[in-house]
Amino acid sequence: MAKALVVYLMCGPDTPELAEAAVDGGADLVELGFPFSDPLADGPVIRRAAERALAHGMRTQACLECLAAVRERLPETPLVPMTYSSLLDAHGWDRFAADAHAAGATSLIVADLPAGERPELRRVQMVAPTSTDERLRLAAAATDGWLYLVTVAGTTGARAELSPALAGLVERARRATDLPLYAGFGISTPEQARAAAELADGVAVGSRAVEVAEEGPAALRAYVASLRAAL
């Protein structure tokens, strides 16, 4: 069965074109970062991208417009905004969910919102190697479509090798759910993507994709194609 490839991009003026390039390269799903000034789960690359996005005026409304523009170019591709709960607090929880859905979001990821809180908000849940079996079952029962396996206890960012904790996390998650398991955080090279996909049902690539995207759509398309070939 083909493995899913998820690519993360920060919302910005050039994101619709970059998202199209990522899908041309073989991405199955695009996560769109809604920038936040204090992103606890993000490493230096995504933090810098968030700072640039905020400097470009990418507040919530502008990000929703960016999402709608991406949806216009990619009518079939699942699009998942990824953000933090402070942003939903400010916008209004129900209003954010409704506005994101209207703009074309398939689901949501709220990186700092634990499973069990705000159960009415349908979203992709994240679990980590530090998650207890109980938390894992709770997240698996509540998640929207797939479960996001954070491969490391720490922030996003490229690393020299795949986290050895992933195998155990996959094994525990498989016991909790039949839904697809996508592994992310710390996956940047085709070799790491292949290794992660041997364990999980798909991989999510963020920091390295954001770095390559700075070089433009052609570079991003080629990078995503290298990941797709590895899978």
Task: List the catalytic residues.
Answer: 31, 42
Spatial CB neighbours of 164, under 8 Å, sequence gap ≥ 6: none
For 117, the token pair is: 């809180």
Report how far residue 34's alpha carbon sits from residue 87's, in angstroms, rounded to the nearest whole number. Answer: 9
Report how far residue 213's alpha carbon sits from residue 22's, in angstroms, rounded to the nearest whole number. Answer: 9
Report how far residue 43's alpha carbon sits from residue 29's, in angstroms, rounded to the nearest whole number. Answer: 22
Kind and range of the H or E element at 133?
helix 133-142
Q: What Rg, from alpha-carbon coordinates, does the chain have?
A: 16
Total length of the chain:
231
Closest CA to 10 of 65, 88, 66: 66
Q: Rounded to the nearest 10 degrees, what angle do helices 93-103 and 60-73 cross at?
A: 30
Angle, CA of 72, 67 and 125, to the nearest 5°: 125
